[in-house]
Structure 1
Amino acid sequence: MSKPKIVALSIVLLLSGCASSGVVPLSADKFMISKNTAKVGGGISASAASEVHEEANDFCAKQGKKVETVDLQLTPGRAGSLGNVTLQFRCT
């Protein structure tokens, strides 16, 4: 792969590495946030899990409630693919 293509791919991965789904309703009382994470060398960004928890905390706090984690899935990235953190939660 040529150097310009590698640079372009790196920029795309870094920009999309910050992508979050936002809060997605799964049912009347269950929600999900999913965040792609790019880490040099693969794996999961150390801050990704805390970022989805912070987003969930903000969402629940606006309702005067606290986050109850239902499920947390961490999918490490590999060469050429992004990692992912998915949090399912309730506000209680």
Structure 2
Amino acid sequence: MRILMVSTIALFIAGCSGPGVVPMGRDTYMIAKDGSFTTFGGGAVKAELYQEANTFCENKGKQLMPVKDASRDSGYARYASAELQFRCLDANDPELRRPTMESEANVKIKVE
């Protein structure tokens, strides 16, 4: 019984962890995360990522500017997940404007 409980806790922790904020270049970062077994929508995971990214930028004294995001709902044998690419910019940076988001398509059609 104890082994089952430890395994369940380990799965819960692994299901909602991610690598954290990863630098992608000058002022540009990426964060990705899998939801837990109780998170069914990728949008909920994406909302958590936006909160984390905003806190990350605020801690640097900067403003969040999203660049690109993607999410996937949970399904058979997979957790919901999301990814966010963003920049942390000074409040007076000319690049800080209304974001023009690029969302990845949920359905991709391969033509041969």
- The alignment status of 1:64 with 2:69, answered yes or no, reads no
Partner of 2:94: none
Partner of 1:87: 84
Letter in 2 for 1:86: E
Give the TM-score taking structure 2 as reference length: 0.62
Partner of 1:16: 14
Give the TM-score taking structure 1 as reference length: 0.74
Q: In 2, are the aligned partners of 1:38 and 1:45 still within 8 Å (CA)?
A: no
| Identical-residue share of aligned pairs (%) | 31
Letter in 2 for 1:53: Y
Mark the runs of 5 or more structure 2 residues left unpaired by the alignment. Answer: 90-112
Q: For CA contacts below 8 A with separation 6 or more, give which structure has more relative contact order.
A: 1
- The alignment status of 1:32 with 2:30, answered yes or no, reads yes
The structure having more radius of gyration, on CA atoms, is 2
Superposition CA RMSD, Å: 2.5
SS where residue 86 of structure 1 aligns?
Answer: strand
Q: Deviations over 1:27-82 (max 9, x none)?
A: 12210010101345x84255322211111111111111111000110012211112
Mark the runs of 5 or more structure 1 residues left unpaired by the alignment. Answer: 1-6
